[in-house]
Chains A and B, each alone.
Chain A
Amino acid sequence: MSLLTVVLFLPLIGFIVALLVPRSSPQTSRVWALAISLVTFVVSLALPLGFDYSAAGEQFKIDTIWIASPEIHYYLAADGVGLWLLVLATFLTPICVLISWTSIQHRVKEFFAFLLLLEFGLVGVFVAQDLFLFYVFWEISLVPMYFLVGIWGHERRIYAAVKFFLFTMAGSVLMLAGIIYLYNRAGTFSYPAILAMLSSGRLTLSPNEQLLLFLSFFIAFAIKVPLFPLHTWLPDAHVEAPSAGSVMLASLMLKMGTYGILHFCLPLFPGASRQCAPWIAVLAIIGIIYGALVSLVQPNMKKLVAYSSVSHLGFVVLGIFSFTQVGLDGAVYQMLNHGISTGALFALVGLMYERRHSLAIADYGGVANVAPWLSTAFLITTLASIGLPLLNNFVGEFLVLQGAAIANYTWAVFAAIGVILSACYMLWLYQRVFYGEASEQVGSHLPDMNLREWAAVVPLIVMMVWMGVYSQSFLPPVTKATARVLDQAQVNVPFRVALPSRAEVAGAR
């Protein structure tokens, strides 16, 4: 049996078994969710270990017919990008189980079941190579998230859940139309087959077709990212979601959008991508600055982090549309980084909410006096999030901005303002929450982290340092995959922007 199939179906088995656990023993649900998600994670580690780092294409391929007519394949494979996003999903799920251990007391069984179903959908999204299969996973992941927000959320959860659902549904419908159109033209849902047809010229799309198809995919992805001005569902969904929901949403679901853009939009519609790139880059830069500025003035911790995600994801989109090797690598690295550091921020905010039952910054202050280790963990995460060197985000941000600078220096100038602003909103947040004298409520309600919480937070911090200090553990397969994307995207139109080689520089003297 294919390794990808195993990794994909372990969470589904987990989901089904979780549904069978009797409602009367919530502890069994917790333990089961933790066990199966840990097993999934350990098994998924076989993917990077078994990955052939010298090869460029998709690996661990499995391709069998799922539905005979229309011909829909069960076609899974992972390239260097999908590989790491998949591992990110399997890595974060047990952490989400841990941070939900005591904070979820109501309908525990369903909660962990949905969490595992969500993992199933996410893993599928990042490895599905059949467009229809991809769409199925895309929708599968939507449903459990909708319930996580709608059932276990805070006061305005229904509003947030419906808003989340409608925004993403609107995009999904467009994408589905695009997929069906492509199917009618190509006669297959198989993504590699369509690419091959495009490159061999057996399938040609007129510029208008290409543009409309590009937009149908891109808008779906852009809502998910979210790209300014399609972002307003995000803060509401984050604020209302339970911590684990916020973590999964920020760390993984947003990446579905950027992954989709990178994996589908650029290779399938290179001409339209190039045509729209300046506009999209400008929207990304607006998102970077806008998200940071709005983040600055949020009175609610989760909303602040949510808007900061708009800013961070703007970097990812900018990197992709720089069409440079450096920019694409940075964008992918930044997807992973954001998954780790923003995931950690939401997890830590969740720990504080569990103690103080408030997300308002004004209700905190002086936490460093009473919970020094929690404060230290939050500080390291803050520093990672604002791109301090030797922590993960720096590498990604640097590469993205470098790529943008090569493509269009003005983009880099404006985007780099976001780096200044990130320090402003995060350090101000940190000061107001952790520094100062501890009030009575803070003093009596905020014990430091316990062992279970340590177990959830420490792996994240280890990853921040590892990815910041030694990016070579992660970047090589990414570089291979993005170079291939750039090559595929060049099929119809040459637009790759490259660094002048050293020889050229020397020759120009």
Chain B
Amino acid sequence: MQLWLIPIFPLAGFVVNGLFGKRFSKALVNVFAIGSVLLSFAWVLKTIFGLGDLTTAYTEHYFTWIQSGAFTVNWDFSVDRLTAIMLLVVTGIGSLIHIYSIGYMAHERGPRHGGYYRFFAYLNLFMFFMLVLVLAANYLVLFVGWEGVGLCSYLLIGFYFTKKFATDAGNKAFIVNRIGDFGFSLAMFYIVKTFSTLDFGSVFSRAAGIPESTLTLIGLLLMVGAAGKSAQIPLYVWLPDAMAGPTPVSALIHAATMVTAGVYMTARSWSIYTHAPAAMEVIAVIGVATAFFAATIGMAQNDIKKVFAYSTVSQLGYMFLGVGVGAFSSGIYHLVTHAFFKALLFLGSGAVIHALSGEQDMRNMGGLRTKIPWTFWTMFCAWIAISGVPFTSGFYSKDSILLAAYHHAPWMYWLGTVTAGITAFYVSRAMFMTFFGRYRGHEHHIHESPPVMMIPLTILALLSLAGGYLFQVPVYLSGVFPPVEEIENFNLMAISVAFGLAGIAIAYWMYVAQPALSESFVRSVKGLYTLVYNKYFVDEIYDAAVIKPVVGGSREVLWKGVDVSVIDGLANGVASRSRDLGGVLRLFQSGNIRSYAAWVVLGSVALIVALGMAGGGR
């Protein structure tokens, strides 16, 4: 089926635009950038329909990448139903976001050498790596995509590279991800140590025969990687800062695709996890804790993109909760629906920011519902979907996770349900502050975005509403993952829906009905609010506990201490001591280059003569 064509199209787009885009017109850049992604999408569709029901994985071998003794890593791509879903999400949503970007980046000139082509080149490169990631048939090729998307994330977060906060955020993203990848790499080393291979097929088929302690270690190390990439506690700190990148990037990379790679990877490794229950328990706890923790921060943010960033962290937590409690297909289900509604929320907020010529602070918005109604109504669809309003996409997927969580441990269900309420609250708060009330900003020329942006929004709006019903992911994946008990519990479902609706209602009450109320509420819990508003000071704690000691210690102790004072001091001490002792030795250190050369020649000659005599005496 020529699976390699799927990632190669965007790679070609990257190469062409990257090398020659500077000389292209915007239209020509678009042709290569969007055309390549559409071709890739078309090839995905052709592949999936061509391969039939895909009950077994279809693998293609290209060439050997690394071979050392008995250890071999091949360039292999493989497609099964899980991959098929990921391919559709990545290329489908990816295409929409590429198209949207034409409008969003239209005013982009960039510093001197033009940002427009650079933006699309990076975006195409991202598509390439993301597709490699999901097509990989072994851990190392997956890791190629894994690190590659991290690189593109770094480049796109720091896209406005003259701004220090943007490049700082890029570095932070890359380095925090590296910490996660540290765990991922160690997991791979242990897999090779245990299985002698990194191929998914052989590892998973043999996992059952491996001691549980080994699999638990591997599973936990993989989760370290997933926590970095998918922004889970304690490595979530990079994602909110990542919003420094252009908004389509936030939608594509930091909401719909890249950040879900950790969920995909852990779900892909289910054969390891099902034999390592302790590791799964850790995933579930991290997931639900992150979901709750990030949601609380989301309640107090004023930057519209920051709200959705914390929301993404929180929603990813739900996905890990699903994986951790063994409902792998529910986790993937939520991955898909989240891709619809969160991409829409970001693109919609991009349209708002676009309309307000760059304003991101919701305190300077308000009343936009009448000014940009089309944007409002599309975002409305995402709003009710993420709030879990019945029959929207988010409702189905979140519900199936929460039910599975209840089955595993009721407290996880309850925490997840409370989080659902908080989620509905903060999204509603953002929507009310943006679209309701009176306009508080200064921009006079508020305009609806061009069709090239509104059409993707509309498609995503439809998917947010109906996507959960249209794409019955758990049914499609039923043969991939171990079966979970079907649980139908109307009461539990009703409770979580009620929490969601209550969240909307409270937000309405605080931000529309009684706007003064929110301020007095904030005043009444000032200490707590400060804590949450400042994101629990986690960045500051990391800075004081890790970064400052490492940098300071390296400079003062290692470099100026050990290197300069101790080692060099010792070496210089030896040198000067010998100078004192033997005046003859001073001749060697005359600083005169010719005399050094002479000494070398003289020494060599003396040596050869001496050896000759020694040899002759034998």
Contact = CB atoms under 8 A, between A and B. Distances in A.
Interface string B227-244: 000000000000000000
Counting chain B CB atoms within 10 Å of each CB, which of A161, A176, A390 scores highest? A390
A417 B178 CA distance: 10
Contacts of A184: 614
Contacts of A294: 554, 558-559, 563
A435 B174 contact: no
Interface in B183-221: 185-186, 188-190, 192-197, 202, 206, 208-209
Given A232-B563, A293-B558, A436-B162, A475 B68 contact: yes
B292 to A, nearest CB: 29
Given A294-B558, A390-B144, A416-B186, A475 B66 contact: yes
Interface stretch (A239-247, A270-278, A399-407): A399-407
Interface in A376-408: 383, 388-390, 394-395, 398-399, 401-402, 405-406
Interface stretch (A366-374, A453-461, A487-495): A366-374
A293 B553 CA distance: 9
B522 interface: no
Contacts of A229: 562, 567
Interface string A466-480: 000111100110010
A191 interface: no
B611 interface: yes
B409 interface: no
A505 B558 contact: no
Interface stretch (A65-73, A119-127, A345-353): A65-73
Given A329-B69, A369-B111, A479-B69, A406 B568 contact: no
B59 interface: no
Interface stretch (B263-271, B507-515, B600-608): B600-608
9 contacts: A71-B615, A132-B611, A158-B591, A162-B591, A294-B559, A294-B563, A389-B148, A431-B167, A475-B67
Closest 10 CB pairs of A and B: A70-B615, A509-B209, A325-B69, A405-B189, A297-B555, A293-B554, A389-B144, A329-B68, A435-B161, A435-B167
Contacts of B618: 187
B411 interface: no
B593 A151 contact: yes
A147 interface: yes
A389 B188 CA distance: 14
Interface stretch (A42-50, A79-87, A260-268, A420-428): A420-428
Contacts of A427: 154, 170-171, 174-175
Interface residues of B, number: 76
A417 B63 contact: no
Interface stretch (A204-212, A355-363, A496-504): A496-504
B391 interface: no
Contacts of A405: 186, 189-190, 192-193
Contacts of A402: 71, 188-189, 192
Contact of A143 (B192, B206, B568, B600): B600
A374 to B, nearest CB: 12
Contacts of B553: 293
B156 to A, nearest CB: 14
A417 B182 contact: yes
Contact of A505 (B111, B181, B206): B206
Contacts of B611: 70, 132, 180, 183
Nearest to B114: A372
A499 B65 CA distance: 19
B616 A69 contact: yes
Nearest to A173: B603
Interface string A111-148: 00000000000000000000010001001001100110
Contacts of A389: 140, 143-144, 147-148
A273 B571 CA distance: 26
B275 to A, nearest CB: 13
A472 B600 contact: no
B164 interface: yes
B175 A424 contact: yes
B193 A406 contact: yes
Contact of B158 (A420, A435, A472): A435
Contacts of B69: 325-326, 329, 479, 483, 498-499
A449 interface: no
A6 interface: no
B449 to A, nearest CB: 30
Interface string B50-93: 00000000000001111111110000000000000000000000
Interface residues of A, dominant DSSP = helix
B523 to A, nearest CB: 40
Contacts of B527: none
Contacts of A475: 66-68
Counting chain B CB atoms within 10 Å of each CB, which of A165, A372, A389, A416 scores highest? A389
B140 A419 contact: no
Nearest to B597: A143
B589 interface: yes
A196 interface: no
A431 B202 contact: no
A1 interface: no
B341 to A, nearest CB: 32
B111 A420 contact: no
Counting chain B CB atoms within 10 Å of each CB, which of A402, A476, A506 scores highest? A402
Contacts of B167: 431, 435-436
A67 B613 CA distance: 13
Contacts of A412: 186, 189
A2 B164 CA distance: 58
B495 interface: no
Nearest to A397: B185
A296 interface: yes
Interface string B131-160: 000000000100110011001001000100
A330 interface: yes
Contacts of B607: 176
A17 interface: no
A279 interface: no
A298 B245 CA distance: 29
Nearest to A166: B575
Interface in A288-333: 290, 293-294, 296-298, 325-326, 329-330
A325 B615 contact: no
Interface in A143-201: 143, 146-147, 150-151, 158, 161-163, 165-167, 176, 180, 183-184, 187
A470 B550 CA distance: 37
Counting chain A CB atoms within 10 Å of each CB, which of B144, B171, B185, B558 scores highest? B185
A413 interface: yes
B186 A502 contact: no
Contacts of B186: 405, 412-413, 416
Nearest to B575: A166
A53 interface: no
A508 interface: yes
Nearest to A504: B196
B582 interface: no
B187 to A, nearest CB: 11
Interface in B483-540: none
A249 B81 CA distance: 52
Contacts of B604: 136, 139
A296 B551 contact: yes
Given A143-B597, A416-B185, A436-B161, A471 B66 contact: yes
Contacts of B418: none
B171 to A, nearest CB: 5
Nearest to B607: A176
Given A326-B71, A416-B182, A419-B185, A296 B554 contact: yes
